[in-house]
Copies of this chain bind each other. A is one copy, B any other.
Amino acid sequence: MSHISNGVEYALHCLLFLSGRPGGAREASVRDLADLQGLPADYMAKLFTKLSKAGLVRATEGVRGGFALARAPAAISVLDVVDAIDGGKALFECREVRQRCAVFEGNEPDWTGVPPCTIHAVMLSAEQRMREELARHTLADLAHRVATVTPPAYNQSVVTWLDTRAASKRPGRAES
């Protein structure tokens, strides 16, 4: 299992669609976002509730509701998304092996408890480097980089796909 889960990737792709819409700040439903990318919709709903609790997106309820970014794309970093989805789990969990040393025979001295253990310190610094790199990139950066790769016709077709999808479903007794 990779440390950064698939959920993070799913969420980032969806957030990119949300931030990439021209004119900004329009909202989209989870189901449309998931179907557009071939992702499991129910699972995405779970991920979006996590994003909402982290304050990255804002939900509007009811019919024609959906999610929109709660902040500007430039104010949301990849690290924010990773922490929101994966819960800020540690890269490494120290098991405090030093305290189990057989030489102590049950009563370990006080110097083994001093934080952090030497090996743990190395892992913490490595994790810090990783987090710094993730924090350097924002949704705006990613969206801009994606825009340089994708042809404009693709962006247009995505917009029309979402629009026709939104138009096809309307509340009330439409099909009766």
* Inter-chain contacts of A126 with B (CB < 8 A): 130-131, 133-134
Q: How many chain A residues touch B (Cβ–Cβ < 8 Å)?
A: 58
**Main secondary structure on chain A at its contact with chain B?**
helix
Copies, count: 2
Contact present for A122 and B134 (CB under 8 Å):
yes
Checking B4, B38, B97, B145 against A13 with a beta-carbon cut-off of 8 angstroms, the contacting residue is B97
Q: Which of A116-149 contact B (CB under 8 A)?
A: 118-119, 122-123, 125-134, 137, 142, 145-146, 149
Interface residues, chain A, with chain B CB atoms under 8 Å away: 1-4, 6, 8-10, 12-13, 16, 35-39, 78, 89-95, 97-98, 100-103, 109, 111, 114, 118-119, 122-123, 125-134, 137, 142, 145-146, 149-151, 154, 157-158, 161
